[in-house]
Amino acid sequence: MNKLEQQALDYHAAGQRGKIAIQVTKPVASQADLSLAYSPGVAVPCVEINKNPAKAYEYTAKGNLVGVITNGTAVLGLGDIGALAGKPVMEGKAVLFKKFAGIDAFDIEIDETDPDKLIDIIAALHPTFGGINLEDIKAPECFQIERTLRERLSIPVFHDDQHGTAIVVGTGFLNALHLTGRDISLVKVVCSGAGAAAIACLDMLVDLGVRRENVYVCDSRGVLTTERELTAEKRAWAQATDAKTLSDVIGMADVFLGLSGPGLLKQDDVKKMAARPIVFALANPEPELRPELIREVAPDAIIATGRSDYPNQINNALCFPYLFRAALDTGATTINQEMKRACVVALAEMARSDDQFGKQYIVPTLLDKRLLTGVTPQIAVAAQASGVARRQIDAAQYRAQLEALAQTLL
C-alpha cells in the first residue's frame, strides 16, 4: 500500500467514521422545544402538508435535500464493485454538495441491478427529496433509469456521470475553440468511448453547434458505422464509412474526446490531427495518453484530463452543486437542456474573465470562490425562462442570498 492509499484510509477512519453526519437545525434544549419538534406539535405541519403537498418545502428539509443514489455498477474507475463498496464515493458527493452549495444530501446505496426494480425503488423514495442525483450506474441501463424517472417524477433527476461531465467538457471545448480561433460548425471531433458520459458529451457538443456529420465515435470494437448492429444510443452516432479504427478516422481531427480507457490514443494518432489539436484525454485515473506524451508530438496542443495533477481538470464538481442549488431555489421540476447550457456558458465566461486564461486554464478551478454566485444565478434565470421553475426569484435578491451563503461556506 502506497502513502496516498494509507492516507485515504486514515482520513476516512479517523474520529467519527465516514465523511458525513446529521445536524439538528432547531432548538431542542427544553421540554417546550421537544413538544414542537416532535409530539404533539409536529402533527400541525403534517396536517398542512396533507392539505397542500407544496407546504413540504416550507415545513421540512425537502427543499434543500438531494438524494445521491447508486447501485454501484459503474463506480469511478473501479467498475461494478457493488452498492456497499460505492458508499465512500456517495458520501464524498454529499460532502461536495454541502461544501460548494450548502445543499444537504443523503447517500442511498441500493442493492439492485434490475433497472425496472431500481426505477420503482427510487421513485418510491421521491417524497424525501427536492432532487435526485443518480451516480455510478452503468450504461446502457442508466439511460432508461434516468429517462423513466424524469418522466415519472416532478423533481429534478440528474445522472451526473452523463450530464455533469458533458457540461464541463462543453465549457473547456468552447474555450479551446476560442483560443484556437476555430469555427464550431466546421470542427471535426473524434471520440473514443461510447458509454453514458461520452454520448452525453457528444449531445452537448452538438447542442453547442458541432455538426453531427463531423463526429466520429469509436467503442471497444472500433468505429460506430451504419453497418454494425448497435444500441439505439450508439446508432445515433453511426457514420456511413469503411473506417474501422480510431487511427482510420483521426486524420485532420480538430478535437479528440476520450472517455474510454488508458493507452487508447497513440502519439502517431496525435500527429495525424490538425494543427493546434484539442485533446481531452479523460479516462481516469490513467488517461488515453499522458499529457507529456501528447506534448512531445504536439507542443501547441490544448489538453485536458480528469486528473487533479494536470492543468484543465474536467471535474463534475464544477457544475452539479450549482445546478441543484438553482433547481432547488427555483422549485424547478427538472434540470433541462437550457439550464445545462446556461451552466456551460457561465463557466466558460468565468474562465475567460480570469487573468490565467490560456491553454493551461480553460475551465475554472474547483475552489474558485466565484462559482456559487457567478454560475448559479444564470442557471436560475434559464430555469425561469424555460418554464420549469415553480418559484420566481428576483435576480438581485437572489445574488445577495448566494453571496451570504458563500460567506458561510468559506
Which amino acids are annotated catalytic?
38, 93
Assign 3-state DSSP to the chain and report helix, strand, coil percentages, each to 5: 50, 10, 40
CA 296-300-301 angle, 5° bins:
80
Angle at 86 between CA 305 and CA 1, to 5 degrees: 70
- Closest by CA to 140, choosing from 11, 39, 72, 233, is 233
Q: What residues are designated binding site?
A: 135-136, 161, 284, 315
Binding residues for a divalent metal cation, by number, are: 135-136, 161
Q: Using CA atoms, how far apart are residues 375 and 172, in angstroms rounded to an integer?
A: 15
E strand map for 172-320: 189-192, 215-219, 222-223, 255-258, 278-281, 302-305
Single-letter amino acid, residue 222: G
CA 382/CA 401 separation, integer angstroms: 18
Q: Give exposure, 302-341, as e/b (b: 16+ Cβ within 10 Å).
A: bbbbbbeebbbbbbbbbbbbbbbbbbbbbbbbbbbebbbb
**Residue ranges of the binding site for (S)-malate:** 284, 315
Per-residue b or e along 133-153, where b marks 16 or more CB atoms closer than 10 Å to that residue's CB: bbbbbbbbbbbebbebbbeeb
Q: Can you tell me the distance from the alpha carbon of 163 to that of 170, in angstroms, rounded to the nearest whole number?
A: 10
